[in-house]
Amino acid sequence: MRAILATPALVDTELPEPVPGPHDLLVRIEAVAVNPIDTKLRAAVREGDPPRQLGWDAAGVVAAVGERVGRFRVGEAVIFAGDAGRAGCNAEAVLVDERLVGHRPARLSWAEAAVVPLTGLTAWEALFERLGLDPDAGADVGAAGGGSSKGPSLLILGGAGGVGSIAIQLARRAGAAVIASASRPESAAWVRELGADHVVDHRRPLAPQLAALGFETVDRIANFSDTDAYWEVMAGLIAPLGSIVAIVGNRRPLDLNLLKAKSVTFAWEFMFSRSQFQTADMGLQGEILDHLAELFERGELRPTLGRTLSPINAANLEIAHAQLASGSTIGKIALVGWG
């Protein structure tokens, strides 16, 4: 089968097709998406290291199943992010534990479906498991515009990125008053289209902008950008008894004492925690993906695809990695088809 390996350069190669274990699906890949984990893990591959098969966002068709698989049959279309401890999806066929897999939303294209899993799971876990929002509290408001939000205030840092783009929609559905950060006219327009109630520019001081909108503090903060850069700012903006979640690891020590007087809760969100530690509730990720698929099917969520490249090969993956590393991506980038 065709595959793309990081050596650290990205190279096209041929590999044997893997054989499913008891809980595995063998999925033939139709489309993949890129995420920061790809560029971070690629950067860790040095000359002389074993090559690494990256990619943890995919849509494809089940080609074979392990002996203990019960949720899927051969021929079903699926989506998954999978397990960062296993070979990624940058290959024509890949193995994934069925508990981490959801059904593909039929109304989405392969490329649109491939961008859902990693960011969808991250946003869902961040908002509903870490920040404690109710996923259905404001379902009548709708995801992208319409109605008004009367629930808790939520500041999303990095609103136009992959996680932010789905989180805005989920937060609106949860009834939150969503304030999304975006620094360019096109990214500000994007987050408004997705349903953000307010937009602030994260390249300018945030407190005055929030105050002008009527928010001296906010109830929740979801930092999908730079934890270090906004730590002191978040400590000042968060309301007493509020909650903060972050997904980007810190490079320097974080002063948790800044949160003590307000009794603020801080939590990390790492989508791969369940698969890495084989938690007892690992199957929740498959359930979340199925729930997200239902929301897409009903038109309650809109795709977050920003750019599509074809076919899936090392050259196009290099383009996708470069754009992702630029920090100017709106939505997500997908590669579709093998040419």
Amino acid occupying residue 82: G
Q: Which two tokens stand for residue 71?
A: 């949720």
In degrees and rounded to multiples of 5, residue 230 shows phi and psi of -110, 10
CA 243 – CA 241 distance, rounded (Å): 7
- Integer angstrom CA distances of residue 218 from 131, 215, 227, 236: 13, 6, 17, 10
Domain with CATH 3.90.180.10 in the chain: 2-118+282-336
User: Would you identify the CATH topology of the domain 2-118+282-336?
Assistant: Quinone Oxidoreductase; Chain A, domain 1 (3.90.180)
Residue appearing with tokens 């993949």: 32
Span 114-127, pLDDT tens digits: 999 999 999 999 99
Q: How confident is the model at residue 257 (pLDDT cuts 50, 70, 90)?
A: very high
Q: What CA–CA distance (Å, rounded) separates 26 from 22?
A: 11
pTM (2 decimals)? 0.95
Number of CB atoms found within 10 A of residue 5's CB = 22
- CATH for 122-272? 3.40.50.720
pLDDT 10s digits, 262-304: 999 999 999 999 999 999 999 999 999 999 999 999 999 999 9
Q: Over pLDDT 70: what percentage of the chain? A: 97
Residue with tokens 């490079």: 251
- Identify the pLDDT of residue 211: 98
Q: Where in the chain is the domain with CATH 3.40.50.720?
A: 122-272
Average pLDDT score over residue span 324-339: 91
pLDDT band at 1 (very low <50, low <70, confident <90, very high): very high
pLDDT band at 215 (very low <50, low <70, confident <90, very high): very high
Instruction: Provide the pLDDT for residue 116.
Output: 98
Listed in order, strand segments (DSSP E) in the chain are 2-6, 10-14, 24-33, 58-65, 77-80, 93-97, 101-103, 153-157, 177-181, 198-200, 218-223, 238-246, 265-268, 305-309, 332-336
- Looking at the predicted structure, is the pLDDT value of residue 146 above 80? no
Overall average pLDDT of the 88-109 stretch: 98
- Region 310-329: mean pLDDT is 93
Q: What is the mean pLDDT of the chain?
A: 95
How long a stretch of residues is the chain?
339
Contact 169, 196 (CB under 8 A): no
- What is the secondary structure of 186-251 as a DSSP string? HHHHHHHHHT-SEEE-TTS-HHHHHHHTT-SSEEEEEE-S-HHHHHHHHHHHEEEEEEEEE-S--S
Average pLDDT rounded to a whole number, residues 207-214: 98
- pLDDT-based confidence at residue 140 (cuts at 50, 70, 90): low
Give me the pLDDT at residue 132, please. 97
Residue 136: per-residue pLDDT? 87
Residue type, 287: E
* 211: CB partners within 8 A, 6+ apart: none
Q: 144-148, 288-292, 305-309 — which is least confidently predicted? A: 144-148
Q: What local confidence, expressed as pLDDT, does residue 329 receive? A: 84
* pLDDT surpassing 90 at residue 150: no
Q: How confident is the model over 53-74, as a mean pLDDT?
A: 97
Poorest-confidence range of 111-115, 236-240, 305-309, 324-328? 324-328
